[in-house]
Structure 1
């Protein structure tokens, strides 16, 4: 591979070919600089290390990536979130910059600026980095970048937030103050741990009365029925007998309302809906119903999503396995379940050692026994207090 140096006026330019295309580059006003630049480029081309990025601005590539990749690869709700992040946060900062000129330092500066502005929480800032990293990854694959400038960005530390959930007594108190028309809905939320969108998309056709299971197949998002959050979210949830009976009574009342309205009833097969059969408004449900129940019951304001945590805590308290809890909640991996609820499990399993003791040695209390050869020897009461730190 050869190239040449061309002088135009007082400036030098280098000329070479790469992948069949002739490329010109400005090399300054000194011939020695132009010679050095040409040698480096030719060397990289010959060694297979040369990379010639395509010219495009950040804003132009963001539009291209959203339409040619994200639009067909992610859920509508995720796409809407990505479009908002680019429009409000990323394009105002990176927009007019040439994509190939953006450095890891630029990305870190963006994070630092957002943190200093104080308008976004650390978690929200980190959320804006998700589509940014993904877009840069595709820019590398498509030949616009040599490497991902956001790959090693240092994220803001997200403060640990204690999980909130209702206790057994608070669940009873909450349900006692729940209006009759919403009782089945909130009992289902507490006894299945379904996400709000999954709950409001429940249909009678997905309920197996004989097996006592509900099959999650859809989620409600802004009035439309969409795919659940992840493949694992499509799941069968076991329903308790009390909940099944409550749903039976709820269906009887709904059937009466359907007959009264006749053709004015919108038949969508929804379990929880308006009196006309239409989907419930998620925000109104929280503000006009959920919060009022909490206030009437004298319970602190928790999030609707905390009913999902309540379900998980109830299962943990009765000793259910993490794998079962994962399946019921529809977590993508058991690690998610352990990360989110693992801190609740030691309390639920604090008697495990005692149960192991009883299974091996029976009901006899063995906490004052030590082994001697092959015999178990009881330590006399007067010798049970031993000074020192024990064997090392």
Structure 2
């Protein structure tokens, strides 16, 4: 179909048809490609306006977070081909690209800090190295028990060497949660799925370990601003939107404190005047 013949009603019907047998995320991505193409047509003056804009899209359902326990995390790490990486993801909340892009020089062993200043993302089988999401560097603390493991990994390495190298010293590819078709790919890229199965843990992805990191931080007494800085969110509001359920205890604490204040200042006074 010529771009000049595309109508908004046709785009709306196409989106509805796609939604019949595909998930909301897939539909939104496909729509995004079409809308971008038509934006270019507007820029080239092939169209006066983009007929895809303003189309109603399906709403993505919010997937409930899976929070692992300390025991589950350590069981997965023990069963894993990359145990220290699993522990870092679950206790420091790094994104996959941030973790595999780490170089030895990014670890401050004395202060127990990780300097997150680059992100290695795989696009079409090729790794693109850039800045972290949001283009902001951050410093993330790591627990004391990780220091010895990280020191062993970095032993005899130079400052520019990767902390978690993959095949032939290249960037480590993100593992598959579901099995691959051929045995060679399964052996190389399905180590995380195998570790989950051996540990008897719920099916999660490496990215889901960020949720567990957030839950560990909150349970350890971290406030929302500290969790925001650790995870590299753009604002504390974003952290609250994503992890509001983790701060339910804080809400209860507010209610309990209000109850105490009322009891001290109002109820006590009432009884005194009785």
The TM-score bracket by the shorter chain reads: 0.7 to 0.9
For the 8 Å contact 2:104–2:160, the answer to whether it is kept is: no
Are 1:215 and 2:107 counterparts? Answer: no
The 1:316–1:134 alpha-carbon spacing in structure 2 relative to 1, beyond 3 Å, is: farther
Q: Which runs of 5+ in 2 are unaligned?
A: 176-185
Q: Which residue of 16, 26, 40 corresponds with 1:124?
A: 26
Q: Distance in 2 between matches of 1:281 and 1:337?
A: 27
> For 1:45-77, what per-residue CA distance to the aligned partner results, in whole angstroms no more than 9, with x for missing partners?
xxxxxxxxxxxxxxxxxxxxxxxxxxxxxxxxx
**RMSD over aligned Cα, in angstroms?**
3.3
Shift of 1:269: 0.5
1:282 aligns to what SS in structure 2?
A: coil
Q: Which residue of 306, 312, 328 corresponds with 2:230?
A: 328
2:148 aligns to what? 245
Q: 1:232-381 counterparts in 2 under 5 A?
A: 232=135, 234-252=137-155, 255=156, 269-274=161-166, 276-283=168-175, 288-355=190-257, 367=263, 371=266, 376-378=269-271
Larger RCO, structures 1/2 (Cα 8 Å, 6+ apart): 2
Shift of 1:268: 5.8
Q: 1:1-392 counterparts in 2 under 5 A?
A: 97-116=1-20, 118=21, 120-175=22-77, 177-179=78-80, 182-216=82-116, 217-221=118-122, 222-228=125-131, 230-232=133-135, 234-252=137-155, 255=156, 269-274=161-166, 276-283=168-175, 288-355=190-257, 367=263, 371=266, 376-378=269-271
1:226 aligns to what SS in structure 2?
A: strand
Q: Which runs of 5+ in 1 are unaligned?
A: 1-96, 259-265, 380-392
What's the TM-score, normalizing by structure 2? 0.80
For the 8 Å contact 2:98–2:120, the answer to whether it is kept is: yes
> For 1:79-104, what per-residue CA distance to the aligned partner results, in whole angstroms no more than 9, with x for missing partners?
xxxxxxxxxxxxxxxxxx22233221
For the 8 Å contact 1:192–1:311, the answer to whether it is kept is: yes
Shift of 1:312: 1.3
What's the TM-score, normalizing by structure 1? 0.58
Aligned residues: 261
1:19 aligns to what? none
The 1:135–1:274 alpha-carbon spacing in structure 2 relative to 1, beyond 3 Å, is: closer
2:179 aligns to what? none
CA radius of gyration, larger in: 1
